[in-house]
């Protein structure tokens, strides 16, 4: 095989992996913003995006019952718009198209992580087992109280790294310190099982206590 061809194929593979990781990271940032600071009172996106996201923490499988368009409309519109602007500016490249494609269906990939192998079929199940797409086991970490980690929804690759350095927790501390903006209380988080009585608002992971403290 021609050496130049090998280099070209290798470059395409590396670029593809880079795009996947970039989209995965962006999905984590967006997901974190929704979970941490999103409000149902926000115009347009509050009703369209934040409210379903809040419900998702109470009923993780609810959105699997809806149709493809309802699950992915927001990300498809956003990704398509970004790609259109990039194209108009003359910056089009196949990597942007790939990023828009993956970015547009991140919620579908998220949906697959909430479905059983029987529901997903052989192809998606294979991609889960091969660690190419985020697996149900990998995503389950995000839905484990206090639900404040593993925000990336495309692969299982980035979450362990970001969680390992408390990436999002550090950003939240910085935001709180510099702006005074607190993380939104996640009412789906259950009080710690080892606390039979209210801890007096001292538990950062106890939604009940935080609600009492906020009041």
Q: Where are the domains of the chain?
A: 3-184, 188-215
Query: Could you tell me if 49 and 71 are in contact, meaning their C-beta atoms sit under 8 angstroms apart?
Result: no
Torsion of CA 199, 200, 201, 205, to 10 degrees: 0
Alpha-helical segments (H) within the chain: 3-37, 45, 51-58, 68-88, 94-104, 106-112, 117-129, 136-140, 158-164, 167-179, 207-214
Phi, psi of 179 (to 5 degrees): -120, -20
C-alpha triplet 165, 145, 168: angle, nearest 5°: 30
- pLDDT at 115 (0 to 100): 94
Angle, nearest 10°, between helix axes 3-37 and 167-179?
Answer: 50
Q: What is the per-residue pLDDT across 111-130, written as a single tens digit (0 to 9) for each?
A: 999 999 999 999 999 999 99
Whether the per-residue pLDDT at 90 is higher than 80: the answer is yes
Q: Is 186 helix (H, G, I), strand (E, B) or coil?
A: coil
Torsion of CA 125, 128, 119, 28, to 10 degrees: -160
**Hunting for tokens 């079929």 — which residue is that?**
121
Q: Any idea which of 21-30, 45-54, 163-172 has the lowest mean pLDDT?
A: 45-54
DSSP at 62? G
Whether the per-residue pLDDT at 198 is higher than 80: the answer is no
The confidence band for 82, taking pLDDT boundaries of 50, 70 and 90, is very high
HSE, CB side, 13 Å, CA atoms: give it for residue 50. 17
The mean pLDDT of 203-211, rounded to a whole number, is 42
DSSP at 49? I
Please, which residues have CB within 8 angstroms of residue 202's CB and are 6 or more apart in sequence? 209
Query: Could you tell me if 176 and 182 are in contact, meaning their C-beta atoms sit under 8 angstroms apart?
Result: yes
How much is the pTM?
Answer: 0.84
- pLDDT at 6 (0 to 100): 87
Whether the per-residue pLDDT at 95 is higher than 70: the answer is yes
Phi, psi of 38 (to 5 degrees): -65, 140
- pLDDT at 1 (0 to 100): 61
Phi-psi region of 201 (alpha: psi -120 to 50; beta: other; left: phi over 0): left
- Whole-number mean pLDDT of the chain? 88
Residue 52, Cβ neighbours under 10 Å: how many? 18
Whether the per-residue pLDDT at 22 is higher than 50: the answer is yes
């Amino acid at each position: 095989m021609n050496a130049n061809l090998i280099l070209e194929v290798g470059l395409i593979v590396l670029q593809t992996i880079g795009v996947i990781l970039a989209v995965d990271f962006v999905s984590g940032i967006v997901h974190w913003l929704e979970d941490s600071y999103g409000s149902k009172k926000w115009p347009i996106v509050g009703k369209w995006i934040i409210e379903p996201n809040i419900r998702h923490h109470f009923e993780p499988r609810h959105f699997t019952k809806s149709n493809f368009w309802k699950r992915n409309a927001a990300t498809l519109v956003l990704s398509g718009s970004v790609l259109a602007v990039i194209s108009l500016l003359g910056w089009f490249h196949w990597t942007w198209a790939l990023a828009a494609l993956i970015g547009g269906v991140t919620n579908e990939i998220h949906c697959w992580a909430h479905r059983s192998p029987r529901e997903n079929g052989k192809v998606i199940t294979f991609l889960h087992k091969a660690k190419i797409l985020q697996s149900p086991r990998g995503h389950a970490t995000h839905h484990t109280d206090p639900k404040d980690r593993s925000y990336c929804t495309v692969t299982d690759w980035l979450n362990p790294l970001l969680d390992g350095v408390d990436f999002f927790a550090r950003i939240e501390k910085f935001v709180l310190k510099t702006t005074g903006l607190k993380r939104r209380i996640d009412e789906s988080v259950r009080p710690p099982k080892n606390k039979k009585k209210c801890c007096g608002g001292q538990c950062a992971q106890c939604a009940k206590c935080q609600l009492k403290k906020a009041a």
